[in-house]
Structure 1
């Protein structure tokens, strides 16, 4: 019964958080049906419209989201909202999140998780002090959990950009040397590659099509990422565009430098492996070896005394 209750409470919390992430700006199915009845002039449509009640999302979830967003704005402040927006840009805007949605989710999770934790700890018979500690930990987890998730997504995205940058710049260099312009070569790279770097190149092209200058679009690309190699590459392209330097020559130099940096980064990661292996070896493997090797001897010594 305790396990079943815990599963039900966790499912309810996940359902509330998931529903809070779903946008409810568009009309619901009932609203569309009633609008169709009004347009067709079906008899009794006005009575159906009058008798129809607001949906559950409009009556409960939307006010809950608005209240959570109001509280979250008071807690975070304007500077925190700007930092969240920057983290969303670094993470690639996962699931089309917005700053308001992240702030509201932080407040809802900070309220829902401690309540569920407190109820569960009281059901299984924990003391009041332990229940308060667990609830406090869940409160911190619910409030800072979205920030940790965005940080993790940003790190993975930056690592993937760093890994694919050299190949993308190689393809860009080949396309420019084959006679394509920089914009056409950038479009070729965005079309024939996958991953976050291809998405960023596509966004640069869309911004340029909307009227933004090439230098401004490239600077915006460097601001949306925290990869140093990409920032250096963008700075070189902006300077080449400003001073009229041959882009193919700059791309060739940048390709060689990026490949050298990628090899150095891989070597640094490889040198960290022995140090990282020490932790699981000391904690998990060596105690088992000691138990296997010294266990029989310890049992014989105990039996002899």
Structure 2
């Protein structure tokens, strides 16, 4: 394909995409449609003060993706874990997709100027693959951030349970032990626990219900175990100290086991570069001798 023709097609595709985004952004229904149709849900609002440059650039196309049903169920759960709004995520997805569609033609024009343009089929496959990768890049980044936050929440919950047991051993009640334990810590995870306990105190909501809701929000099932122990202590008068002590020990042992498993997995991954380095070293040493044997006359 001629580079000029490819550039013209890329420009036409970009222009059509921008026209579609602009039409979806600034289109307004008529008065008759507003009166005859059902009451529409509020339009997706974006907070310009949040998000990076990707969110600000892709702000125009975010309502289009929102109308298409995005974000999905998994992305919505990860956004809730990361305390992010869907608007910034959709804006980053729009900008990332546009970058995936525009960068390959530009690179193709640069390669064509040097006479190194690949075959049209190969170029098309690379273009589609890069665009697909850029489409899923925000999802991968969001999933990675959500995984890290869930791990941090679990670590904080383990330490929080230990502090509650210490406060109970000192003679404090259940509510006082929870408040004291949440006051001795920093970070966003402990702040979330502290705010949840303050909300329970202000709204007269049972603590175990608030903690269970917190676990559902941050996708941390360990909150349900702690909530069950507190519920048992409040409803049946069970020995809350021994129950919480057992839960704290279980969380600590589980967390240490996961750390050990991750360390072993990292050790196993480290063995592959060592083997490759050793194989390369042997090849470097044996190449002169093998070359002399094979190509000697």
Alpha carbons 2:47, 2:87 under 8 Å: kept: no
Q: CA deviation at 1:81?
A: 4.6
Match of 2:134 in 1: 142
Q: CA deviation at 1:236?
A: 2.4
Matched, 1:23 2:17: no
Q: CA deviation at 1:273?
A: 4.4
Mark the CA change 1:265 to 1:183 in structure 2 (over 3 Å): closer, same or farther. same
C-alpha RMSD of the superposition: 3.1
Matched, 1:111 2:135: no
In structure 2, the residue corresponding to 1:276 is in which secondary structure? helix
Q: CA deviation at 1:218?
A: 0.9
> TM-score, length-normalised on structure 2?
0.68
Q: In 1, Cα distance between the equivalents of 2:251 and 2:123? A: 53
Alpha carbons 1:173, 1:252 under 8 Å: kept: yes
1:233 aligns with one of 226, 234, 242:
226
1:171 aligns with one of 163, 167, 172:
163
Match of 2:154 in 1: 162
Matched, 1:258 2:251: yes
2:89 aligns with one of 102, 109, 112:
102
Mark the CA change 1:22 to 1:245 in structure 2 (over 3 Å): closer, same or farther. same
Alpha carbons 2:46, 2:88 under 8 Å: kept: no
Tell me the alpha carbon deviations over residues 174-233 of structure 1, each in whole angstroms, 9 at most, x when there is no partner.
Answer: 112223333433333333223443133123124324414323211111112334444422
Alpha carbons 2:100, 2:132 under 8 Å: kept: no
Q: In 2, Cα distance between the equivalents of 1:204 and 1:123? A: 56
Alpha carbons 1:115, 1:135 under 8 Å: kept: no
Q: In 2, Cα distance between the equivalents of 1:23 and 1:182? A: 40
In structure 2, the residue corresponding to 1:240 is in which secondary structure? helix
Mark the CA change 1:148 to 1:203 in structure 2 (over 3 Å): closer, same or farther. farther
Q: In 2, Cα distance between the equivalents of 1:176 and 1:159? A: 26
Q: In 1, Cα distance between the equivalents of 2:49 and 2:274? A: 53
Q: In 2, Cα distance between the equivalents of 1:164 and 1:252? A: 16
Matched, 1:248 2:272: no
Alpha carbons 1:72, 1:103 under 8 Å: kept: yes
Q: CA deviation at 1:99?
A: 1.2
Matched, 1:124 2:103: no
2:217 aligns with one of 205, 220, 224:
224
In structure 2, the residue corresponding to 1:135 is in which secondary structure? helix
Q: In 1, Cα distance between the equivalents of 2:167 and 2:75? A: 37
Alpha carbons 2:153, 2:220 under 8 Å: kept: yes
> TM-score, length-normalised on structure 1?
0.67
Going by fraction, where is helix more abundant, 1 or 2?
Answer: 1
Matched, 1:205 2:229: no
1:294 aligns with one of 282, 286, 291:
286
Tell me the alpha carbon deviations over residues 135-191 of structure 1, each in whole angstroms, 9 at most, x when there is no partner.
Answer: 323322332222111110122222233344433221121112223333433333333
Q: In 2, Cα distance between the equivalents of 1:219 and 1:230? A: 6
